[in-house]
Amino acid sequence: MRPLQPGTRIVTIGDSITDAGRNQPVGTAGSGLGTGYVALLNAFALARQPELGLIFLNTGTSGHTVRDLAQRWQRDVLDLKPDVVTVMIGTNDVWRQFDSPFHPAGHVLPEEYSSTLRDLTQQTLSQGIEMLLATPFYLEPNPNDAMRSRMDEYGAMVKEIAHELGTDFLDTQALFANFLQHYYPASMCWDRVHPNLAGSVMLAEGFAGVLGFGGSF
């Protein structure tokens, strides 16, 4: 990631973890960014590097998969003229395979997930926009758990695409490793998907570190 310049426009896109109750059609600074990691990311930027005046635009949408992102990419990413785009998607792509096994039309399987994310990334990079690709995560400490294992598989695809296309990368599953050594997952979120404030802080710190304004004040 090149050093951020004053007034850099950062679009954050993903599912409900990014959405977090943000305003429609585009969440902006203040309460409009929602109550999750994006709002904290904005707060960290203001506290640590106020001279940059970074502009965060949240277009995360609850329930969405990478298939949904492809359908709204022009409107919710490219039309907003970002300098940087962060993408964290895959939770629902995997989750629907487990909570809705008899509705395969809603399942986004690995080949579709990988090819769609790669296409969106290539399309965006070709316009001179920087990207940060983040893995999906599942708050389960046992890597052999069926859903955790599947989520890790999708995370590995994100890492491969980031390496292949030369984008920045964030392993969000790794951010929770220390917490999961000490606490049962339900103490952070009952469904192991939607983190509480502490989990949102972990995510925000992870994103801030890659974007270049992590650390102390």
Mean residue pLDDT of the chain comes to: 97
Q: Catalytic residues, which ones?
A: 16, 191, 194
**Residue 177 in contact with residue 199, Cβ under 8 Å?**
no
Q: For residue 196, is pLDDT > 90?
A: yes
The residues spanned by each domain of the chain are 9-211
- Closest by CA to 61, choosing from 89, 85, 35, is 89
Terminal-residue alpha carbon distance, the chain: 21
Q: How confident is the model at residue 2 (pLDDT cuts 50, 70, 90)?
A: confident
Residue 173 is predicted with a pLDDT of 98
Q: Please state, for a pLDDT cut of 90, what percent of the chain lies above it.
A: 96
> Secondary structure of the chain in the HEC alphabet?
CCCCCCCCEEEEEECHHHHCCCCCCCECCCHHHCCCHHHHHHHHHHHHCHHHCCEEEECCCCCCCHHHHHHHHHHHCHHHCCCEEEEECCHHHHHHHHHCCCCHHHCCCHHHHHHHHHHHHHHHHCCCCEEEEECCCCCCCCCCCHHHHHHHHHHHHHHHHHHHHCCEEECHHHHCHHHHHHCCHHHCCCCCCCCCHHHHHHHHHHHHHHHCCCCCC
Q: Which residues contact 186 (CB under 8 A, 6 or more apart)?
A: 192
pLDDT tens sequence across 70-114: 999 999 999 999 999 999 999 999 999 999 999 999 999 999 999
pLDDT tens sequence across 122-169: 999 999 999 999 999 999 999 999 999 999 999 999 999 999 999 999
Residue 217 is predicted with a pLDDT of 64
Q: Please state, for a pLDDT cut of 70, what percent of the chain lies above it.
A: 100
Separation between Cα atoms, residue 44 and residue 55, nearest integer Å: 12
Separation between Cα atoms, residue 102 and residue 67, nearest integer Å: 19
The torsion angle over the Cα atoms of residues 204, 205, 211 and 214, rounded to 10 degrees, is 140
CATH class, range 9-211: alpha beta
pTM over 0.85, yes/no:
yes
